[in-house]
Structure 1
Amino acid sequence: MSQLLEAMVLRHTHRVPVPPGPAGDGAAAARQFDSALMSVGFKLSAELLERLSGTAEEAVRETAVRTLATVRAMVGDHVAHNVYFVDFPRHVPDTLDFWMRCIVGALDDHASREGVLAQLSTGTVDLLTLPGYGVYGHAYAEVLAAHDELIAAAGDRLTVLHLGGAPDDEVTALYLALAGSATPLGEEHLRDLGVLAGHCVAGPQPAEIPVRENRAVVNRVRLDAGADLLLDTVTDVLRLACALSGGDVTLIEPTRFRSMPRPVRRALLAGLDAVVAAAPAKLADVTAHREAFKRLGERLHPHEHPRWPHAAEVFAVARGERAARSLDSLVQELLGAGDVTGAVRLLAAAPGRLFRALDHLLRACRTRDERDAVVAAVERAAPQVSGRVLLSLREHLQNRTGATDGRRLFVNRLGRAWAAADTRVPLPEPERKRLIEALDAETGRRLPAPGHLLVDPAVLDVALPLSGRATTGGLGVLPRGSLSPVDGELLRFFVYWKQTRKSTDFDLSALMLDGAYRTVCWLSYTTLTQVEGEHSGDITDATHGASEFINLRLGAVRGSFIVPQVNIYDGEGFEEVEESFFGFMLRESEQQGMPFEARTVRMKSELRGPGRVALPLAFLRDGDGRWHAKWLHLYLRGTPSANQVEGNRVSVATLLRGIVERDFLTVRHLAGLLGERAAATTLWDGGAVPPGPVTYVGLARPEGLHPDSVVVTPENLRDLIPA
């Protein structure tokens, strides 16, 4: 197995594949390996430590080197996190005093004096023109010397790595799990799926690939290997063409199609021809992506291939030369004429679209008979839609109670968020309750009998991953809307970025809001100190990578909400930089240590999204004074440059309110339905686990589980979603 594939298995499963090599005495090397892992917040399980102890020492050391490199990258410890103020968080100056020191230093510099004097004569000074501002004035080694060693604490993170199976078996299992996922994958997972599909193309394949984006990634590999393509709509072919051009298989962002070799063009045209020949009505799907199909036609040259006439029809529809009315347009025509029951009859042939149109249909009803017809159609169609669609509609309905502040939150699949006035009338309560009962009954029917269900209570408030786009790659990351407790005296945020081509300035900030979502204060490069804590200083160029930190004393925080954010002041975007990630650490005040300590990191997530302002998560204080993390994964459009916390306070507060007050569907819901089918249900208290096989649902796999147990943790939480 290559190191890349081994790293994928470790990142996705927290399992170390059985190391190759002969038996031997590797006990000493295994203990050293375990100790090195603990220094960055990881540990070998007892089973894995025992297995390594019986392996040849050289094999253990090779496994240790690879594994340590992977876990350090997982937690963000693969780079040197320097800080502007060498002994941060101690001795961070007042902002104005600091700026004055920078100006005085610039006046003492012969090269900059004249320019600074000219600026002072106008009454303003551009900080970015001062030679001592925004750049590190010391080496990382000086930061190491300025800080005491971290004192270990019981609350430090400890992520257990478990013993995996044979390397090829682990890779195949991961491929089958990702390819067969019932929910869309995030960007990182899709990228990994492409690599895994190439490695596993000649091996076992999933019985079904229900998510279209996943299918496009797999089809690209199958095309290269000469295998049959998995196509049943014209959009499948369009997604495949996007994958071949390195574009967006979700079809959200436009793709610039590359020139394609003749065999590839023939394969795509043959695929389109076969789909349309089998079901001519599928030509209606072309109109939803008319421009993309027109651009694709310019690359495929369908006029050169008369043996595939049905493929030519696709591009005739895209150019407007042939009519192919979409189902949505027909439904809108019927609704415009007041014929709700006719629209319902038409949508009955497309259950997924019926579910998506439900809210609109109910609001269009004028009589009880029409509402009964809509609800009855949904009840009949429920067995034909995916579990993800069932649960998505369930979450929608539980938020349509009529209790609204008049604002509606929108989040697209890329994480870009905005709010608008909610002008919808509430749904009728009898129909809403009836639909919820029907959806719960159908979901429960699809869930497996779990046997002995063992549940970690800490996972119950984790939101169901109904879309991979509702989260990001990283360590300790939970889906949007999840709630998790935060314990510790000090909360420290960090951001790291490394530019690709041009000077790039990211700014880490933290906004504090009261219970009414009004601004209390903030920490940023314009406000380095507050009662709550300190900012590590502004870094304005990341040629060799840059880090910024915010240190908060939770007991001193005024207000009810803390909203960390990353603003792009200038330069490359989140998707353009070579690397960027955000995270937070928790520690006790007496622990000391460096600004960045891997074993205190609770979460590290990649920053890869649209917009110029990132909102990874927020922190909420409950009525008892306890803090919790609320996961956001949102991006604001912002402005092309000079984004600051001061300028987006209102929009951030509005979006935060929308997320906090939304009722997300969580693991608690599915655990309750599973419990109805379980032979026994136990809430795990962190102690000994039952001796026999269980279905375990929790934040991390406990030691000692029976080998035949089914384990669901955040790494594979999507497995809870029924097919």
Structure 2
Amino acid sequence: MRRRETPCDHDGVDGTLESLVISRTLRVPAPAGGPGAGGAAARQLDAALMSVGFKLSRNLMEWLSGIDEVAVHDTAVRVLDTVRTMVGDHVRHNVYFRRFPRKVPDTVEFWAECMQKWLLDPVSPGDVRRAAAQGTLNLLDFPSYGRYLHTYEEMLAAHDDLIASAKDRVTVLHLGEALDREVEDLYLALAGSAAPLNAADLEALPILAEHCVHGRQPDAIPVRENRAVVNRARLDAGVPLLLDSVTDVLRLACALSDGDVTLAEPTRFRSPRRPVRRALLAGLDEVVRDSPAKLGDVGKYREPWKRLGERLHPHEHPAYAHAADVFAVARGDRTARTLMGRFESRLAEGDVTGAARLLSGAPGMLFRSADRLLRTASAADRDAVLDMIEAAAGGASGRVVLSLREHLLNRPDEPGRARVFANRAGRGAVVRDERPPLDGGARERLVALLDAETARRLPPAGRLLVDPDVLDVALPISGKAMAAGMGVLPRGSVTPVEGELLRFFVYWKQARYTTDFDLSALMLDGDYLNPTWLSYTSLTQAGGRHSGDITEAPDGASEFIDLRLGRIGKRVVIPQVNVYSGEGFEQVAESFFGFMLRDAEQRGRPFEPRTVRMKSDLRGAGGVALPLAFLRGEDGRWRAKWLHLFLRGHPEFNQVEGNRVTTTALVRAVVDRRYLTVRYLTGLWASEGATILPWDGGRVPDGPVTFVGFERPEGLHEESRVVTPENLRDLIPA
């Protein structure tokens, strides 16, 4: 095997960087080490990885086998720590009912047993006895309820070993380049992403940006919050800033105060050092000097600008007079009309064509306003509006083009249908769509225009090798609400569910206060009616089992729900996590959700990492999390539909019984909504002359291909382009 050059010494390399690369690319940066006989250590690593559902690729095994054994051992420790965290195996998952899913009692029988133990307990607290005398009993007062009554080791002893199956998940880790190169490539991919990043990737970007500030940079950074993170690293390193709007400076100020660069939450600005104040004011001054019309953007964030002005002291820097204008507008001492304000004035006057012409220089705004312009335009104005949209199409981002196309895919022909909204934090809502329909001819012309524009931007695919299972994965037009984790797909994606036993789980660890999360499952028929549920109030329903209620998690706690898919009489299963009391999803030290698939005869522990198909962080605003839904089709097969939604819920005591109506309406709206998927792009590629080759897991073609699938096949030509869920954002055209 030809060995790669690895110029940097990996001894003492920051493990955080290596972990970021492995978890986001499934590539292990080529470990540095002198020639040696690392074969035995490499085989040990491969065996350990198999126990958690991973394995080494052939190239990675060969590389490790040819270097020093000590270097292999050091690499093994870091790789194992990373992949175990990826699947949730870095913590101990205990269950309340030690033999779960066996020996789970009937709910009433279990509660009666808890009460009996309490009544026979000679040291029961007096206040509990007084409550019983008053006729009020609280489950949480029973000493045997809600707390582990056995150790983790005792629970393990009650379960047989997992029987290996060919259906178990095996995720292949591939050989990467040297660490510096892998970190640089990951930085370029995240910073230059055409779609907004999820919270975890946005948190990783500062680490990568600081490391790569003097190296290669993306050709463009289209997402504004990414630009703010990169600008902070550039400011710290003394590199010129990337600013083309006043809001870029505001976002940078938020980044410098460790605040919210998305501007969704208020930031408490710190008082920066004098050189930093000068840099911010100089950047602001240059933006306004070059384009005074950009003062119109200040009004949208008037309050943050006023608070920032108190920290920057613009009056102390008379040389930056244009920057001072920004704060004058924020205070109301100066007027600056916004572009959208002038747009609204034109529409109020009935000048639809003039309003569209006004936005022609801002293609993104024009595309976002296209529906409103077309539904209010007269027949005589529609063609003029469409002409302006067509002329501006080349200036709109690929994400905006796709967003409008997906919008038209769901535009109802008549008012009254349900319309679903989800904000950047995943908070969902359903409203009645009262908009008048679009003219059919205008809609068809706009659809054709958008398809042609998207096809024009797609890179040549040549031969396209496609895994059929990935065709129904939704395009990540926005990744903000998508949870971080392993096997996580964009909202609206549909994937097959293969296996007899479906088991989902939640883990949480409280930070400061006693916290109780509850895992539940709402089950409905094909018309989303006749609900039943599995929860701590209903431990056995529809052939399923709940692992038992845990009500505090100082050292971490887990709950599981076990379902035999063949025994479920319902058509829809909606797992949910409810915050019953204590800290929310964004306050706990750690929380995540996932699901496993296995065959019934495999047995094993409640949590088996190599059967985990998905594990996602639970970080969102609200009291109820809805990660995904499981749907049984007319063909009898089960599929997962990805939701990434949160309900506001109640401040405390959220239960599946109390939110089932809202949950049902929201999930049905998402399930019924149509999403742009990989199938849409492959269809456009085919129309442009690309050769589509279905990937069946066999021999890969000779020569370079564009591969789109769930996992990179071994043996692909080195010049092939590979798109998997880890870099699905690369499909969004610039």
TM-score by length of structure 1 reads 0.98
SS in 1 for 2:579: strand
Answer yes or no: is 1:509 the counterpart of 2:502. no
**Take 2:687 and 2:71, find their aligned partners in 1: how far apart are those partners?**
47
CA distance 1:418–1:164, change in 2 (3 Å): same
RMSD (CA atoms): 1.1
Equivalence map 1:65-84=2 (5 Å) = 65-84=77-96
Contact 1:172 1:204 in 2 (8 A): yes
Q: How does 1:18-29 map onto structure 2 within 5 Å?
A: 18-29=30-41
1:397 to 396, 403, 408: 408
CA deviation after TM superposition for structure 1 residue 121, in Å: 2.7
Per the alignment, residue 246 of structure 1 pairs with 258
Between the aligned partners of 2:691 and 2:373, the Cα distance in structure 1 is 41
| Residue type at the aligned position of 2:163 | I
Query: Partners of 1:694 and 1:62 in 2: how far apart?
Result: 35
Select 2:194's aligned residue among 175, 182, 189.
182
1:463 maps to which of 448, 471, 474: 474
SS of residue paired to 2:593: strand
Residue 482 of structure 1 pairs with residue 503 of structure 2: no
1: distance between equivalents of 2:259 and 2:65? 46
CA contact (8 A) 2:415 2:435 kept: no
Give yes or no for the alignment of 1:61 onto 2:73.
Answer: yes
Matched-pair contact (CA < 8 Å) for 2:423–2:481:
no
CA-CA distance at 1:679 after TM superposition: 4.7
Match of 2:682 in 1: 671
Show the counterpart of 2:126: 114
Deviation per residue, 1:244-281 (Å, 9 max, x gap): 11111111112121222222111111111111011000
CA 1:403–1:550: 2 relative to 1, 3 Å: farther
The answer for the alignment partner of 2:241 in structure 1 is 229
1:399 & 1:470 partners in 2: Cα distance? 20
Quote how far apart the aligned CAs of 1:677 are: 3.5
Deviations 1:62-103 (A, max 9, x none): 111110110000000000001001110111111111111111
Report the alpha carbon displacement of residue 232 of structure 1 after superposing the two structures with TM: 0.5
Matched, 1:34 2:50: no
- 1:623 and 2:670 correspond: no
Question: 1:47 and 2:59 equivalent?
Answer: yes
Post-superposition Cα deviations, 1:677-710, rounded to whole Å, max 9, x if no partner, equal: 4552201111110011111011110111111110
Do the aligned residues in 1 keep the contact of 2:414 with 2:436 (CA within 8 Å)?
A: no
Distance in 2 (CA, whole Å) between partners of 1:623 and 1:229 is 56
Q: Output the CA distance in 1 between the equivalents of 2:249 and 2:542.
A: 57
Q: Which residue of 1 aligns with 2:430?
A: 419
Q: Which residue of 1 aligns with 2:368?
A: 356
Tell me if 1:292 matches 2:317: no
% same residue = 65
Partner of 1:15: 27
Contact 1:82 1:546 in 2 (8 A): yes
CA distance in 2, matches of 1:364, 1:20: 64
1:162 equivalenced with 2:174 (yes/no): yes
Q: Find the counterpart in structure 2 of residue 644 from structure 1.
A: 655
C-alpha displacement of 1:166: 1.1
After TM superposition, give the deviation of residue 129 of structure 1 in Å. Answer: 1.7
Q: 1:519 and 1:280 mapped to 2: Cα distance?
A: 60
1:536 alignment partner, one of 530, 544, 547: 547
* Aligned equivalent of 1:346: 358
Number of aligned residues: 722
Deviation, 1:532, is 2.5
Paired AA for residue 648 in structure 2: R
Contact 1:107 1:113 in 2 (8 A): no
Alignment partner of 1:546 is 2:557: yes
Aligned position for 2:333: 321
**Deviations 1:315-359 (CA, angstroms, capped at 9, x unpaired):** 111111111111111111111111111111111121110111111
Structure 1 counterpart SS, 2:323: helix
Distance 1:173 1:603 in 2: 25
2:152 corresponding residue in structure 1: 140
- Asked if the contact 2:524–2:531 (Cα under 8 Å) also holds between the matched residues in 1, the reply is yes
What is the letter of the counterpart of residue 379 of structure 1?
E
**Number of the residue aligned with 2:217:** 205
Counterpart CA distance in 1 for 2:120 and 2:239 is 70
| Paired AA for residue 540 in structure 1 | T
Unaligned regions of 5+ residues in structure 2, if any? 1-12
Comparing 659-668 with 251-260, greater Cα deviation is found at 251-260
One of 709, 720, 726 as aligned partner of 1:709: 720
Pick the aligned partner of 2:459 from 448, 451, 461.
448
SS state at 2:282 partner? helix
**CA deviation after TM superposition for structure 1 residue 613, in Å:** 0.7
Give per-residue Cα distances to partners, 1:583-606, cap 9 Å, x unaligned. 000011100000000000000000
Amino acid at match of 1:670: L
Residue identity matched to 1:332:
E
Structure 1 residue 149: Cα displacement: 0.1
The CA deviation at 1:404 is: 6.7
Give the SS at the match of 1:165.
coil
Contact 1:179 1:214 in 2 (8 A): yes
Report matched runs for 1:301-340 at 5 Å.
301-340=313-352
Q: Is the 8 A contact 1:449 1:678 kept in 2?
A: no
1:369 to 380, 383, 391: 380
Q: Give SS of 1:639's match.
A: coil
- Asked if the contact 2:415–2:436 (Cα under 8 Å) also holds between the matched residues in 1, the reply is no
Between 405-414 and 503-512, the greater mean CA deviation after superposition: 405-414
- Note if 1:195 corresponds to 2:207: yes
1:397 is matched by which residue type in structure 2? L
Q: After the TM superposition, which residues 510-529 of structure 1 pair with which residues of structure 2 at under 5 Å, given as runs?
A: 510-529=521-540
Q: Equivalents in 2 of 1:43, 1:520: separation in Å?
A: 42
Q: Distance in 1 between matches of 2:220 and 2:279?
A: 21
Quote the Cα distance in structure 1 between the aligned partners of 2:632 and 2:682.
Answer: 26
SS in 2 for 1:696: strand
Aligned to 1:694: 705
The answer as to whether partners of 2:20 and 2:204 remain within 8 angstroms in 1 is yes
Q: Which amino acid aligns with 2:371?
A: D
Deviation of the 1:297 alpha carbon: 1.1
Query: How big is the shift at 1:109?
Result: 2.5
Q: Deviations over 1:203-253 (max 9, x none)?
A: 111121111010000011111111111000000001111111111111111
- 1:612: which partner in 2? 623
SS at 1:462 equivalent:
coil
* 2:112 pairs with 1:100: yes
CA contact (8 A) 1:504 1:540 kept: yes
Counterpart-to-counterpart distance in 1, 2:685 and 2:186: 24
Supply the distance in 2 between the matched residues of 1:324 and 1:46 (Cα, whole angstroms).
62
1:431 paired with 2:442, answer yes
Measured in 2, the distance between the counterparts of 1:511 and 1:405 equals 27
Contact 2:56-2:174 at 8 Å conserved across structures: yes
3-state SS of 2:531 partner: strand
CA deviations on 1:558-594 (whole Å, 9 max, x unpaired) are 2211000000001111111111000000011100000
- Tell me, what secondary structure is at the counterpart of 2:540? coil
**Contact map agreement 1:489 1:586 (CA 8 A) in 2:** yes
1:403 CA displacement: 6.1
On the 8 A contact 2:474/2:491 being kept in 1, the answer is yes
- When residues 605 and 405 of structure 1 are mapped into structure 2, their CA distance, relative to the original with a 3 A threshold, is farther
Corresponding residue of 2:9: none
Instruction: Identify the range of structure 1 (448-457 vs 613-622) with the bigger mean alpha-carbon deviation.
Output: 448-457
Does the residue aligned with 1:112 lie in a helix, a strand or coil?
Answer: coil
Partner of 2:417: 406
**Which residue number corresponds to residue 3 of structure 1?**
15
Q: Give CA-to-partner distance per residue, 1:625-666, whole Å, 9 cap, x none.
A: 100000000011111100000110011011111111111000
Query: Matches of 2:655 and 2:625 in 1, distance apart?
Result: 12
Contact 1:257/1:296 (8 A) holds in 2: yes
Which one-letter code corresponds to 2:363 in the other structure?
P
Contact 1:512-1:562 at 8 Å conserved across structures: yes
Tell me if the contact between 2:415 and 2:437 (Cα under 8 Å) persists in the aligned partners.
no
